[in-house]
Amino acid sequence: MKKHVLILGASLMQKPAVEAARDLGCRITLVDGNPNALSRSYADSFEQIDLKDTEKIVDFALCLRQHEGLHGVFTAGTDFSYAVARAAEACALPGHNSEAALRASDKVLMRSCFEKAGVPSPRFVEADGRTVSLDKKGLLSWLKKNALDFPLVVKPCDNMGARGCRLVHSADEFSSALSDAVRYSKTARAVVEEYMDGPEFSIDAIVCQGELTVTGFADRHIFFPPYFVEMGHTIPSNLASGPRFQLFKTFAEGVRALGLSCGAAKADIKLTSRGPMVGEIAARLSGGYMSGWTFPYASDLNLTREALSIALGEPPEALSARRVKTGIADSPFEIFEVPCVRHCAERAWISIPGKIKETLFFEKAEKRNGVCDFFPRAHVNDTVDFPQNNVEKAGNVLACAPGYEKASDCAAAAVKTVFLRLEERNITSGHFLFQALDTAYPPSAFQLPPDVLRKLETLEYSQKSPVCLTEKMHIRLPPVLEDCADLTDWNGRSLRETVDLYNELYKKQSALPKSGEVLYSSSFSDREFWHCLIRGGLQGAVFYFDSRRSECL
């Protein structure tokens, strides 16, 4: 008889779970609030339910259990592990208990558990909309009362993907950061916590029968303060075994403190100047391509299938066969680790604000050496913005290779190949591009030294007579930028490569109208052009030229 599994979520991030269930011969029912969810067509049945409606999901699971039989409830890459635990518990199926899953879903409860158990984590205090209204004096008094001082991190109590998460250096920045965090919270609450320094890592693990098996340990690459945007991860990390095992032990202590005992657990954890500190631990497999893609590529182990087996009450046979003991002493669990046989790197590409007019070189990027998967997220006619969280990136690429640097280089080469051409004369694009080049956030594509920024001011500001745009189709780096030619932008493209690709684009695309008439513009400025290129990279230069050209057509 086929086992029947209920999977919460039907997006791309749940596709590996659907495929794993299919491999295990299961009948699959998917639940998602989006009736057009990507993975819907792969399921045997689909039910449209808002994933935030826990009670309705529990009722639906009980109905399935009674009328069709149900053997497991599962999710991956969503923030609804509490709903999974509640549904599984109501149906007497395997899984984390619901109280533990709730503690792993609410950062206030989570931090409180860590504090009580002595698990290293940042000092914190809960905040809500009332805290936003405090004046500067009241805020400073409130922080002092809670033994907190700047810099601080403000984040929602119950969201994922770095939504509403921001680093705050002063009281002047606090109110807007807290307003964002409360807005992104399902319960209108936020956590205010001390900032943790040091590199950040992701850990995926399986907890079962009193044992903890680390199934993925990756470097996280975080950029663009005051926000925390993950521009990719690399697995396995090259961190030495000593500090790596310290992180594993601290993670295990956090898992025990939360009470997670049967299923997946996922951590964001830092190696700070004070040692390992837990950012958060979730009662699910990770999103962001790690559990479903990069770890399987690196290890040859289908982690999602093993976690799903546990949810179905079956032994994770491949996991048991592949794991090795770590020998970590004084841990609440016996800790195992699944070794990787190669490296896998995930990298993202991003865009400046605007509306996409054309996507170029996607096929070329996808065919780059080492590329395993290519996931564009922004397409023609989509509106894009500079990211403040992990869901606002324009796309992701995954690459595999025998070594850490090689895998990273393969992914980076694909990212810098991609180009998103923006609609000309767009107000939001123009506003972004004509901000100062030393703007802290959003930062300029190329971070030039102060002396070079000053020298750029000497470029011609405007033309006194009409300019022939066909003469501006081919550009050369001005002498003032020669020493900066190897600087790279957010997507890894150097200044020299940007100039070369700009020339290549306009070599193929004539600036002349169909009549063959020569185009003249009185508004083209060398200084403005290079400002836009430095500020917005290739997108900025092409936007400026296309906008000036459109004025003449």
User: What are 218-277's pLDDT values in tens digits?
Assistant: 999 999 999 999 999 999 999 999 999 999 999 999 999 999 999 999 999 999 999 999
Q: Are 201 and 269 in contact (CB under 8 A)?
A: yes
Q: Are 33 and 40 in contact (CB under 8 A)?
A: no
pLDDT score of 477 more than 50? yes
Would you state the CATH architecture of domain 344-422?
2-Layer Sandwich (3.30)
pLDDT score of 461 more than 60? no
327: left (phi over 0), alpha (psi -120 to 50) or beta: left
SS3 311: helix
Q: Are 204 and 303 in contact (CB under 8 A)?
A: yes
* Angstrom distances, CA of residue 549 to CA of 269, 376, 510, 520, 541: 50, 29, 11, 8, 12
User: Which tens digits make up the pLDDT trace of 269-315?
Assistant: 999 999 999 999 999 999 889 999 999 999 999 999 999 999 999 99
Q: Which residues contact 246 (CB under 8 A, 6 or more apart)?
A: 271, 275, 276
CATH number of 4-93: 3.40.50.20
Q: Is residue 137 very low, low, confident or very high in pLDDT (cuts 50, 70, 90)?
A: very high
Task: Determine the average pLDDT of the residues in 476-487.
Answer: 94
pLDDT at 278: 98
Homologous superfamily (CATH) for 123-194: ATP-grasp fold, A domain (3.30.1490.20)
SS3 317: helix
pLDDT at 339: 97
Amino acid at 449: P
pLDDT score of 459 more than 80? no
CA–CA gap between residue 532 and residue 444 (Å, rounded)? 9
- Whole-prediction pTM: 0.94
Structure tokens at 336: 């195992």
pLDDT score of 464 more than 70? no
CA–CA gap between residue 421 and residue 538 (Å, rounded)? 9
Task: Determine the average pLDDT of the residues in 472-483.
Answer: 88
Q: Which residues contact 182 (CB under 8 A, 6 or more apart)?
A: 127, 128, 129, 132, 156, 164, 188, 189, 190
pLDDT score of 465 more than 70? no
Q: Is residue 38 very low, low, confident or very high in pLDDT (cuts 50, 70, 90)?
A: very high
Average pLDDT, the chain: 94
DSSP state of 14: G
What are the boundaries of each domain within the chain?
4-93, 123-194, 200-341, 344-422, 427-550
DSSP string of 497-547? HHHHHHHHHHHHS--S-TT-PPPEESS--HHHHHHHHHHHHHHHHHHHHHH
pLDDT at 435: 97
Beta-strand runs (E) in 164-210: 166-168, 189-194, 200-208
Fold of the 200-341 domain = D-amino Acid Aminotransferase; Chain A, domain 1 (3.30.470)
pLDDT at 508: 60
pLDDT score of 509 more than 60? no
Structure tokens at 454: 């000053």
pLDDT at 511: 46
Task: Determine the average pLDDT of the residues in 427-436.
Answer: 97
Q: Which residues contact 230 (CB under 8 A, 6 or more apart)?
A: 162, 220, 221, 222, 288, 348, 390
Q: Residue 241: in which H helix or E strand, if any? A: helix 241-258
Q: Residue 5: in which H helix or E strand, if any? A: strand 4-8
Q: In what order do the strands lie in the sheet with 45-48?
A: 45-48, 27-32, 4-8, 72-75
Number of C-beta neighbours around residue 17 at 10 A: 29
Cα 54 from chain centre: 25
Task: Determine the average pLDDT of the residues in 419-428.
Answer: 97
Cis peptide leading into residue 353 (ω within 30°): no
Q: Is residue 553 very low, low, confident or very high in pLDDT (cuts 50, 70, 90)?
A: low
* b/e code 81-101 from CB counts within 10 Å (16+ = b): bbbbbbbbbbbebbbbbbebb
Q: Are 5 and 21 in contact (CB under 8 A)?
A: yes
pLDDT score of 17 more than 50? yes
User: Which tens digits make up the pLDDT trace of 79-88?
Assistant: 899 999 999 9
DSSP string of 15-65? HHHHHHHHHTT-EEEEEES-TT-GGGGGSSEEEE--TT-HHHHHHHHHHHH
pLDDT at 229: 97
Asked, colleague to colleague, whether 200-341 and 344-422 share their fold, the answer is yes
User: Which tens digits make up the pLDDT trace of 366-418?
Assistant: 999 999 999 999 999 999 999 999 999 999 999 999 999 999 999 999 999 99
Task: Determine the average pLDDT of the residues in 203-230.
Answer: 97
Of 72, 348, 397, nearest in space to 221 by CA = 348
